[in-house]
Structure 1
Amino acid sequence: MPIYEMNNEDIMGAETISISQPEPKYGDSDETSVFDALNPMSDKGTKLRHAAFQIDNSVGSLIAMMPFNQFEEQEGYNPFDDDRTLMGYEDFAWSFLHSKSPEETSAIKQRIDKQRNTKKFVSESGIAGILSSIYAGSIDPVNVMAMGLPLTNLVRGGSILATSAKFAGANAIGGVASEVALSATQETRTLEESALNVTFDAMLGGLLGSAAQLVKNRGQIVSKFKNDVLGEQLTVQQNTPNNTSVGAMEVPDTTLEQETLKGPSFINKTMNVSPVGRVAQSPSKTARQINQQLAENNFTFAKNEEGIASFTAVETKVRGYETLVYKQVESTKDFYKNYRKKAKERDGSRLSLYEFSEQVGDAMRNGDRHAIPEVAEAARAVRPIVEKTKDRMVELGILREGVTVSTAESYFPRIYKFDKILNDRAEFRNIIADWLQEMNQRTVYKAESSLAKADAGIEQARTSAPQAEKLNAEIKEAERWSGKKQLLMDEIEKNRKLVAEKETVSAEIEKRKAKKPTKKLEQLERKLVRIEEAENKLASYQRSLDILDKPRQFRNEYRQLTRKANSLTRYDNRRYAALRRMEPLAREEVEAAADDIINKIIGAPSGIVPSELIPDGLTKRAGFTKSRTLNIPDERIKDFLESDVNYVMENYVRQVAPEIELTAQFGRVDMDAQIKAITNDYNTLISEAKTAKERGKLEARRDADLRDIRAMRDRLLGTYGAPKDPSSFFVRAGRIARHVNFLRLLGGMTISSLPDMARPIMQHGLRSALKPLGKMLTDISAMKIAKADLREMGIGLEYALSSRSKVIADLNDPYARRTFLERGLEWSSQKFGNFTLMNQYTDTMKMWTGVVTQSKILRAAQEVAAGNALSSKEIKKLAHLGVDKNMLERIAQQYSKHGEDLDGMLTGHSHLWDDRVVRETFQAAVLKDVRTTVITPGIGDTPLMMSSELGKIVMQFKTFFFGTHNRALVSGIQSGDASFYYGALLQISLGSLVYVLKSMMAGREINAEPANLVKEGLDWSGMMGWLGEPNNLLENLSGGSYGMSAMFGGPPASRYQSRNGIGALLGPTFDLGGDIQNITAGVMNGEFDDREVRSVRKLLPFQNLFYLSPLLNQVEEQLK
């Protein structure tokens, strides 16, 4: 067959032939198409998604690139000694800085190679790779949180541009956080790549924000179209509550949805460890509302966006009573200073402050009089506090009108010296027994008089019975003439005429008797008999006429006689009681009663002694009333009563404040009506449930809600978790240990609190927070005025009371006894807060926040009064604080009367306001914001087990993290404000600074790697709330082999480095036990090395005060 040569250009042109042709594909192809990325069943797509998850998702990267910690360290090894070791890996040299062996260097190389190959695989997959990367990034928890938060701020009618900017900003912040995490776990991730990804995240967020706002506005867009194009009238639903009440703010009738928390549900679920967080997510609307009214919170609810105010919590109002304690403490100090100045001029002797305070207490029992003028003046200065609380309790019906003091000349709260009673029980029992016997004997002397009165009453009752019977017959006789009065009067007249002849007839008969009897004499004698009968009838007829004329008078007389006749049994009982009272109590009886009284006093579980102390059996004996009150004069048991006015008034206010505010809010201290309302609400929900399983869940949830509500109520009262025996060794040892732990471990707490400086910015924004700060620092006179105003609200009292430090250190013990040791520890703990500068720092932070909040509310009130509209953000923030539009108008009225503008810094002088409802609402709003900005944990923030004695020991110093979780982390996410996110970044940065300062103080090497600084910043800032504690515990117990630090490739968290494993797991008290064990073992074994020296130092109070710690570090180094 012939073969012909042919040129291709003869068939197709040269241009056509020059077009490149793809190679033919046979069988399976290794290339990944865009459809593989979208197909969840595709093996190629699965492989690609896994690869993208490893490089573009922070969690996936953390897991895939987890560093190796199992290599044994090779002494003297340095990967940089030989240039060939890192050949080809020069760009990643910093990754080998901590390599301690050739095996670890090889593992790091493998990790870098894996990252390179994974990135190459994703990038070569084209569009499918891009889609997979977007998918992996979209499910990154950081990005999910960042994108989910602006969704909580979507409102109908919102600006598309503004929403787009919010989403873009939130996504950019999330992108930065995500890239920081990815860069920390990937050696091959470059700065350019991160910047590009953050830019893409911002653009994507903006697009999604615009789309989300368009969807949200769809209803109004349609309505506007109907109105403008079709001519239909647009009607806007008004959601603003109509608060027209004069006496109190009207409670809007909200729905369950309006009482729902904002923010992602998975974030809100993390609050289920605390009672306030659990009840806030209850299926019962009533439970949610009562929860808000009872416990202070920083939550944002759906109703706040509609301008409906959150309830003012009873807890917030109770905390405002601290200003009364502050005033008392400061006034007593001032009078003591005056006393010291004049003491030398008198006799030279001088009382200590404690002795002076006791003398003030004595004076308050004795009409506020004392030989020392300053003591008397101090007592008179405290008296208004007692009177103010008494008047409020009378107003609420807690005390009866006109209540008086019967145990002293003037009232001073009675608080017993429990240890004095225990130590001198026999003496105290004799005093009580003597008084009981005297009361009994005094009544015995009066028994004879009572017996005579009872006998007279019995005689009167016996004579009244026949009188009543006779009168009853006369009344019945008169009733026979009812309607026949004229006939009765005729009969009376007829008989009266006949009786009038009696004298004449009698005289005639006497005259004729001297003569011979005649028929006429017989007639006269018969007539005289008729006259005598007429006399009897006349008396009866006249009585009947009198009764008919005055029926009410005679019936009342009959009733009185009947009552006297029937009082025979009563007088018999009185006679029996009088005879019994004449029998005196035996000494054995009164001593047994005294023992019973003492047991009730020292056994009071909360330290709050009940008023009813007299035993039941004794109230039936002579001298004792049914009130069962121990009315023994204070003077007789003076040595067994606390007289220190500072201690007594602090405890008095702590006891009466919750009682007052609970009664004012709920009608009763026990909240009985509210508990029934929750039960009824659940009964409705259970009846509507469709399955037995649903009903069972609701019943369990009802019991849990009621338990939490009761627990928070009792925490406020100071009775929850109270030990059965407050004087037991375990309870008192635990209390002492907590004080010792505070003194020896929290010397650096002020430095640890530096991240709190970001909290006002997180709550109010950079501009709103910093402008008043500048005024505070430059205008001292204006700040003094604002400070005095804030102190009237209970803000800025830490220097005198250390209330926040006590809460954070778990020292707020409502049933503490007072031995000399315990009193000394309390005094030391109080002063320690000043030594560490924590109290001064807290006061400054609270004053700063108070100025910001007060100015913000008052400025908003002025805007509303002027007819200007507030932004939706301002409306939500103010409603979150408990202030709605109506209340703002009323605040503006009060501010115009009493307020003051200190060159842009507004102060209301709210203590002068004449509208109590407005005053209390405004002050509570400011106080709430201050307590949540400067984190002060409340009654609902910590798990219930932390109120038990064991919980206090094991969980000491953990209170702050639970408070931060609820009041900062979750609440910030709920608000969705941009200020929370840049404030959080600032707080993390300050946390990193704390790590550096703490490391310098402890003499530890500072790890300045970015990943470690971010990790330490997160930990020291407290931004992770309680979620960070399990990680730190895991790192401590595993020696750094597990946990976040192991994943980041850095050392374990520095905050737990000073604790041993037992201390990390069971708290600082057990850590103290471990240190004592180390010291004991060292002494016994004769090996006193670094560990033993360190343990000795940790036992010393004040050992880590930030200005003493460097000196002690040098001493410690010399002893090692």
Structure 2
Amino acid sequence: MPIYEQQPDDILSADINAVQQTEPTYGDNVSPSWYDPINPLDDRRQTKELRNAAFRIDNSVGSLIATAPFNQFEDIEGYNPFEDELTLSGYEDYADAFIHSNSPQETAAIKQRIDREKNDRQQLMDSGGAGIVSSIAMGVIDPINVAAMMIPGGAIVKGGSVGATAGKFALANTAGGVASEMALHSTQETRTLTESAINVTLDAMIGGTLGSAAQLVRNRGELINKVRNDIIEHQPSNNPPANQSGDRSIGAAEVANTTLEQETLKGPSFVNRTMMVSPVGRVAQSPSKTARQINQQLTENNFTFAKNEEGIATFTAVETKVRGYETLVYKQVESTKDHFKQYRQSGGRDMSYYQFSEAVGDAMRNGDTHAIPQIAEAARSIRPIVEATKDRMVELGILRENVKVTTAQSYFPRIYKFDKILNDRTEFRKIIADWLEEINQTSINKAKGSLDRAEIGIDKARNASPQAERLGLEIKEAESWSGKKSLLMDDINKYQKIINEKNAVEVELNSLSNLAQLNKTQTRRQATLQRKLQRINDAENKLPALQRSVDILDNPRKFRNEHRRLTRTANSLTRHDRIRQSALNRMTPLEREELDAAADDIVNKIIGAPSGIVPSELIPDGLVKRAGFTKDRTLNIPDERIKDYLESDVNYVMENYIRQVAPEIELTAKFGRVDMDNQIKAITEEYNQLIADATTPKERSRLEVRREADLRDIRAMRDRLLGTYGAPKDPSSFFVRAGRVARHVNFLRLLGGMTISSLPDMARPIMQHGLRSALKPLGKMLTDIGAMRIAKADLREMGIGLEYILSSRSKVIADLNDPYSRRSYLERGLQWSSQKFGNLTLMNQYTDTMKMWSGVITQSKVLRAANTLDAGGTLSKQEIKKLAHIGIDESMLKRIADQFKRHGEDLDGMLTGHSHLWDDRVVRETFQAAVLKDVRTTVITPGIGDTPLMMSSELGKIVMQFKTFFFATHNRALVSGIQSGDASFYYGALLQVALGSLVYVLKAKMAGRDINTEPANLVKEGLDWSGMMGWLGEPNNVLENLSGGTYGMSAMFGGPPASRYQSRNGIGALLGPTFDLGGDIKNITSGVLNGEFDDREVRSVRKLLPFQNLFYLSPLLNQVEEQMK
């Protein structure tokens, strides 16, 4: 089992600019400058967070909004947050904030509010100038401050006193500041009096400054005259010399200030114009500088720009970074294979490799556990890849923080078995409908509980209303005695004395009432006692209210809190009534017909997903407002319930997962958003200016057309990277799937000799780097196996040399790079055969060798240049241009040298950096991306911008199959070589033509055809087979095939038609190998029906056979074919 020194998450790149290489910047994590918070065009995540923090802390409206959610908690009878000391541990300084808390949930929410306030303050403090500007900006737009600033506006008069106006503004701002701070104090728990005093003082200063500035502006005429008369006449001129530019751009650090001329392609314009058939070539020649720069940042290219000659580096493309993720796929596949070998070595024989891979996928859904230890260990070894990509997506804001798995024990990407769903649609729909019904019923049950709680809350609210009213009157009465407590106590004592006489009065009255007859004195006494008893009764009625007032005055906070609690409970009547109504609405169940219709809609969205990328929002709009369904519309059905309809093959699922998330991650990291909305707006705005500056209607019209073309190309290349461009509306249609099958069949039956055809690629390292630079590492590779093994492992960490496992280049060249294809048994078998076919033809091994050779050359050259600079030496202009061409400038070379000294190794002249160990992430990623880009352009690997857009359509894939390589060769070899102007390109081109001639001879021998050794014919065939003519050679070959050699290059050279299309019929030459296949089937059918099975029919049968032209089987099949003729 291999041991990898690099962690899986190391491959996930930071958001770096390959030109501006100073400090690491990851996505939106670049610290905002002081200007960014007030820049309306800056919508980066970190800037938004800074504005939001300032809005909550320094704006009364924002602070009020931040407290809004605290009316949603249900009270718990008898709850007291102060009972347990641990409840408020760490929050003792803010204990008053918890006085009104009536539930653990509300206590937790108050803590969260306090934490958020503290975090917001810390974030503003840590952001330095940006934090200060954010706070000022949010304070300025505070409605209270805005109103305060409007008050003294009339104080500004022409000729007025600056001091007086400043004073009025200062006074108004101070009043506004006091009001604002009072509002903020009422809604924030952590705001201190010291902070408020400082803010009010600053408000006064700002008001005074604004007032004086306003008055100065009003008096500007007088001031200008004074300055002109007293100062300007005595100052010398400060105009710059005529030969000195006022707008200079120095070095790579100011690459954003490059001019349109610096972003212009080198080389003859008529040669560059031949690239207008491809989107990357068109946008590289756009009249918009912004479009040219974004084109470089998005799409990999091998172009030389004018700025490269100045040492300004080309941007590192998102596409290059995305291709680096193939390392993760490679490691996952290798790890699974290693664990399968361990399983077999331990005696396991029940599972095939495919079944083992499915079991690993199933284990990843179930907490990475399995009864078979090798399967569980395989799942655990893959988990870091998933976690690393998830963490990066959270960091960039693609996923929300604290995202949790709700559909399984652990996360495993969900990819549907489309064919099984199509074949068993009824059962799948029933499973979905049953789950929807369960969700609906669960919500109804919860709604019943909510209804009961709402009824209880309504009763409490109704009971609390009179209590709150009564207590309010008592508090008001007590407040009337405020400052007069001694008088109150005198009254209480007076009434108490009166009450104390009650017993005596009652006894005396009783004794008098027992007398049969009262004399006058007794009668008067009785009346006096009765009046006194009435006064006693009055005192008894008044005393409790007075004593209540004393209690309230002794502990006013307690009674005010109680009054607020009762008032809040009484005011919750409306809220509880809304909850009651909502619960009643949710208690209406969905009918089965509605559930079946919703399930049908979900199934249609799944099987109709373009390119197999199923949208996350699957729940129909009609269900969102019904019980149990949320606005996010995610199909959160447990994986276990639809397990039979989900792909579990870990190799297939992880490859598709990484290919899907890698572009999302890198596009977001580079451009802020996957859709590149800001960049598209920037291009549009620049074109608006260009159109406004145009002088003629014709020029404006031309720019309008060009703008639409540039935006179309940028969007198309973006979508090609995402895998969605040209996606069929119905991926399951017969035409789409038949075309896919036909392309696989064509690959198996026609490209058995592609390794022989690729022999001219051996000249590419020489063309790109020169004879000496290319051959010296080759000799080392062939003679020092140990050193090469070290270099090979190093390059694989960069995503180089993975073809034997992934066969990625062969798939791209054969137009089979469709990772989201449906997976019927036939399609799965063809995909497996195509994967193995690349190994059977030795193409994958050959490509790996070529890429390793190129990687060693590039790595050694970069490291040697870095060491030269570090030692105080200088680089030639040609070296500087070459390095800038692949994305490295001189400042980056110095940082590379530092890392190489600490981690690199000199293997007897072959330098290897061990870059996966470098601790400077920016340097590591820049270096690895530069090497990977150069390898992919040396060993030509087509990219997202190299082919015409029509080749992404289903018809284009069929008609133009096997043409991808020639368009890529045109851009990456022919045109780029002419642009560079290096002598190595021209003598390398001669070698490539010679190797093309060798391919012609070998192909002719394999096919049993006569070899025309005329020099002119060999040159013509060499040009054709070498690919040196790029896509320009394709129309010539079609013309020669259709005209029988009457027209075309062969007629010019005087030889036979080009041999590369000799085996195709006219239809096949014009419309591609699939239609050629149709022609062969027609020939066979006609021969069978007519009873004439001659040479043509035998040849057609031969061409239908898979593997029929494998270069080591072809001679044998030639003999069989001759016997049958």
Shift in Å at residue 235 of structure 1? Answer: 13
RMSD of Structure 2 on Structure 1 (CA): 2.3
Whichever residue aligns with residue 812 of structure 1, its letter is N
Contact kept, 8 Å, 2:656 with 2:820, in 1: the verdict is no
Contact kept, 8 Å, 1:241 with 1:252, in 2: the verdict is no
Question: Where in structure 2 are the equivalents of 1:787-936 lying within 5 Å?
Answer: 787-936=792-941
TM-score by length of 2: 0.75
Distance 1:812 1:242, change over 3 A: closer
Contact kept, 8 Å, 1:239 with 1:307, in 2: the verdict is no
**2:974 is matched with which residue: 962, 969, 978?**
969
Give the corresponding residue for 1:1110. 1115
Give the whole-Å Cα distance in 1 for the aligned partners of 2:960 and 2:652.
27
Give the corresponding residue for 2:269. 265
Contact kept, 8 Å, 1:252 with 1:308, in 2: the verdict is no
Give the whole-Å Cα distance in 2 for the aligned partners of 1:718 and 1:785.
34
Q: Secondary structure at the match of 1:980?
A: helix
Deviations 1:65-96 (A, max 9, x none): xxxxxxxxxxxxxxxxxxxxxxxxxxxxxxxx
Give the corresponding residue for 1:753. 758
Give the corresponding residue for 1:454. 454
Give the whole-Å Cα distance in 1 for the aligned partners of 2:258 and 2:300.
20
Give the whole-Å Cα distance in 2 for the aligned partners of 1:662 and 1:237.
31
Shift in Å at residue 504 of structure 1? Answer: 2.3
Deviations 1:975-1006 (A, max 9, x none): 11111111111111111111111111111111
Distance 1:618 1:1108, change over 3 A: same
Contact kept, 8 Å, 1:292 with 1:312, in 2: the verdict is yes
Shift in Å at residue 467 of structure 1? Answer: 4.3
Give the whole-Å Cα distance in 1 for the aligned partners of 2:469 and 2:698.
73
Contact kept, 8 Å, 2:249 with 2:257, in 1: the verdict is no
Give the corresponding residue for 2:690. 685
**1:292 is matched with which residue: 271, 289, 296?**
296
2:396 is the counterpart of 1:396: yes
Q: Which has the larger radius of gyration?
A: 1
Q: Secondary structure at the match of 1:901?
A: strand
Distance 1:685 1:236, change over 3 A: closer
Shift in Å at residue 338 of structure 1? Answer: 2.1
Give the whole-Å Cα distance in 1 for the aligned partners of 2:618 and 2:560.
48
Give the corresponding residue for 2:770. 765
Give the whole-Å Cα distance in 2 for the aligned partners of 1:567 and 1:915.
58
Contact kept, 8 Å, 2:264 with 2:285, in 1: the verdict is yes
Whichever residue aligns with residue 439 of structure 2, its letter is M
Give the whole-Å Cα distance in 2 for the aligned partners of 1:664 and 1:417.
32
Give the whole-Å Cα distance in 1 for the aligned partners of 2:904 and 2:709.
45
Shift in Å at residue 350 of structure 1? Answer: 3.1
Whichever residue aligns with residue 496 of structure 2, its letter is A
Whichever residue aligns with residue 241 of structure 1, its letter is G
Give the whole-Å Cα distance in 1 for the aligned partners of 2:1108 and 2:694.
60
Whichever residue aligns with residue 496 of structure 1, its letter is I
Whichever residue aligns with residue 390 of structure 2, its letter is K
**1:721 is matched with which residue: 726, 731, 735?**
726
Aligned length: 871
2:1104 is the counterpart of 1:1096: no
Whichever residue aligns with residue 493 of structure 1, its letter is M
Question: Where in structure 2 are the equivalents of 1:144-183 lying within 5 Å?
Answer: none
Whichever residue aligns with residue 367 of structure 2, its letter is G
Deviations 1:315-347 (A, max 9, x none): 10000000111111111112222222222xx6x
2:369 is the counterpart of 1:369: yes
2:306 is the counterpart of 1:310: no
Question: Where in structure 2 are the equivalents of 1:593-742 lying within 5 Å?
Answer: 593-742=598-747
Question: Where in structure 2 are the equivalents of 1:353-364 lying within 5 Å?
Answer: 353-364=353-364
Distance 1:556 1:597, change over 3 A: farther
**2:487 is matched with which residue: 485, 488, 491?**
491
Give the whole-Å Cα distance in 1 for the aligned partners of 2:617 and 2:285.
40
Give the whole-Å Cα distance in 2 for the aligned partners of 1:740 and 1:530.
110
Distance 1:1027 1:556, change over 3 A: farther
Whichever residue aligns with residue 816 of structure 2, its letter is L
Give the whole-Å Cα distance in 1 for the aligned partners of 2:888 and 2:560.
65
Distance 1:531 1:609, change over 3 A: same
Give the whole-Å Cα distance in 1 for the aligned partners of 2:985 and 2:548.
101
Contact kept, 8 Å, 2:479 with 2:553, in 1: the verdict is no
Give the corresponding residue for 2:583. 578
Give the corresponding residue for 2:23. none
Shift in Å at residue 557 of structure 1? Answer: 5.6
Give the whole-Å Cα distance in 2 for the aligned partners of 1:523 and 1:942.
113
Contact kept, 8 Å, 1:898 with 1:909, in 2: the verdict is yes
Shift in Å at residue 588 of structure 1? Answer: 2.5
Give the whole-Å Cα distance in 1 for the aligned partners of 2:727 and 2:414.
20
Distance 1:1095 1:468, change over 3 A: same
Give the corresponding residue for 1:322. 326
Contact kept, 8 Å, 1:726 with 1:815, in 2: the verdict is no
Give the corresponding residue for 1:960. 965
**2:251 is matched with which residue: 232, 241, 244?**
241
Shift in Å at residue 579 of structure 1? Answer: 2.9
Give the whole-Å Cα distance in 2 for the aligned partners of 1:562 and 1:1065.
85
Give the corresponding residue for 2:411. 411
Deviations 1:746-803 (A, max 9, x none): 1111111111001111111111111111110111011111101111111000000110
Give the whole-Å Cα distance in 2 for the aligned partners of 1:871 and 1:764.
14
Shift in Å at residue 509 of structure 1? Answer: 2.5
Whichever residue aligns with residue 401 of structure 1, its letter is E
Q: Secondary structure at the match of 1:606?
A: helix
- Residue segments in structure 1 that go unaligned for 5+ positions in a row: 1-232, 244-249
Give the whole-Å Cα distance in 1 for the aligned partners of 2:1004 and 2:578.
83
Deviations 1:183-230 (A, max 9, x none): xxxxxxxxxxxxxxxxxxxxxxxxxxxxxxxxxxxxxxxxxxxxxxxx
Shift in Å at residue 361 of structure 1? Answer: 1.1
Whichever residue aligns with residue 449 of structure 2, its letter is S
Contact kept, 8 Å, 2:598 with 2:620, in 1: the verdict is yes
Distance 1:745 1:556, change over 3 A: farther
Shift in Å at residue 494 of structure 1? Answer: 2.7
**1:531 is matched with which residue: 532, 539, 554?**
539
Shift in Å at residue 236 of structure 1? Answer: 15
Q: Secondary structure at the match of 1:690?
A: coil
Sequence identity (%)? 77
TM-score by length of 1: 0.75
Q: Secondary structure at the match of 1:1088?
A: coil
Distance 1:762 1:737, change over 3 A: same
Give the corresponding residue for 2:496. 500
Contact kept, 8 Å, 2:764 with 2:939, in 1: the verdict is yes
Q: Secondary structure at the match of 1:501?
A: helix
Give the corresponding residue for 1:333. 337
Contact kept, 8 Å, 2:458 with 2:576, in 1: the verdict is yes
Contact kept, 8 Å, 1:738 with 1:1069, in 2: the verdict is yes
Distance 1:479 1:525, change over 3 A: closer
**2:1076 is matched with which residue: 1067, 1071, 1074?**
1071
Distance 1:853 1:541, change over 3 A: same
Give the whole-Å Cα distance in 2 for the aligned partners of 1:260 and 1:925.
21
Deviations 1:85-135 (A, max 9, x none): xxxxxxxxxxxxxxxxxxxxxxxxxxxxxxxxxxxxxxxxxxxxxxxxxxx
Give the corresponding residue for 2:185. none
Distance 1:963 1:929, change over 3 A: same
Whichever residue aligns with residue 372 of structure 1, its letter is I
Shift in Å at residue 523 of structure 1? Answer: 6.0
| Comparing 427-436 and 499-508, the one that deviates more | 499-508
Shift in Å at residue 455 of structure 1? Answer: 0.9
Give the corresponding residue for 1:387. 387
Shift in Å at residue 410 of structure 1? Answer: 1.6
Contact kept, 8 Å, 1:772 with 1:905, in 2: the verdict is yes
Distance 1:536 1:368, change over 3 A: closer
Shift in Å at residue 682 of structure 1? Answer: 1.3
Give the corresponding residue for 2:287. 283
Contact kept, 8 Å, 1:340 with 1:350, in 2: the verdict is no
Q: Secondary structure at the match of 2:705?
A: helix
Contact kept, 8 Å, 1:413 with 1:649, in 2: the verdict is yes
Give the whole-Å Cα distance in 1 for the aligned partners of 2:509 and 2:263.
114
Distance 1:480 1:693, change over 3 A: farther
